[in-house]
Amino acid sequence: MGGLTGPDEFGPGGRAASPLLAYAARLAGRKAPRICVLNTASGDDPAVYLRTYDLFAEIPGRVAHLQLFPMPNTADPEDLLLSQDVIFVGGGSVANMLAVWRVHGLDRIMRAAWQAGIVLSGVSAGAICWFAGGTTDSFGTDLQPFTDGLGLLSPSYCPHYDSEPRRRPLYQSLVASGTLPPGIACDDGAAAHYVDDDLAEIVADRPAARGYLVSRPDGASAAETAIDARALTGR
C-alpha cells in the first residue's frame, strides 16, 4: 500500500507541479497507469477538470474522473475507483468534500483502494483527507482545525506550511493542545510519500521545499523537526 500527498493548491488560481504528478504516476509501476481524478473539494468545477486534464496531458497514462455534482457521472463509482492505479484528489474544501464522499460511500471505497495498493494522492484538501485531520479554511476565512479525516494515515497533516503565515503557528498550537495528533507538514512544492503507515520520504520540485515532523514530546508543547526533501528534477 502506498500514497503520495502534497500541498500545492489545485483549483482556481492554483498550480500542481508536473514532477510531483509524474512521481505519483510512477509509483503505480506501470507504463501507462490508470489515473482517476476527483475534484469534489472544488464542487466539481468544470474549469478545474479542464486544467486537471491539461496538467496530466504530458504524463503517460489513461486519465478519467469521478464527479459527484450534481450526481455521479458513472453508475458504479466503486468499480471505477477500484479499477485505477492512481487516484488523485484536488484542493478546495476538505470538510465539504468528505461530507459528500460519505453520503456516496466513498469513505469505504477509498479504504478499500488503499488496502488494494492503489496509489492515493492529492494536494491541499486532497492531501489532508487521507489523514486524521489538519488545518483548513473550509469553515471560513480563518484557519481552523479539521478533525474528521478518513484516518487511513493516523497522523495529522498541514499543507501550505511556508506560504500561508497562519498555518505553521496554528498547526503547532493544535498539536500542542492535543486537538490534532502529531503529524507532518509540507512546504508548497513538497510532498510526503507514505508506504503503508510509514513515511518513506519527502520529495519536492522546488529547491527550498521541505517537510516537517511536528511532535508533542512533553505532552504540552509542539516540537518541529525539518526533513530534507529529495529533489525531483524531471518528469
CA dihedral 156, 181, 230, 210 (to 10 degrees): 90
Active site residue 18: no
Catalytic (active site) residue 124: yes
Cell output for 81: 475507483
End-to-end CA distance of the chain: 23
The three grid cell numbers given for residue 59, joined into one nine-digit string: 504524463
d(CA 164, CA 159): 9
Query: Of 65, 121, 138, 160, which residue is the catalytic one?
Result: 160
* Interacting residues of 60 by C-beta distance below 8 A, sequence separation 6+: 25, 31, 32, 33
Catalytic residue among 42, 93, 121, 124: 124
Residues with catalytic function: 124, 160
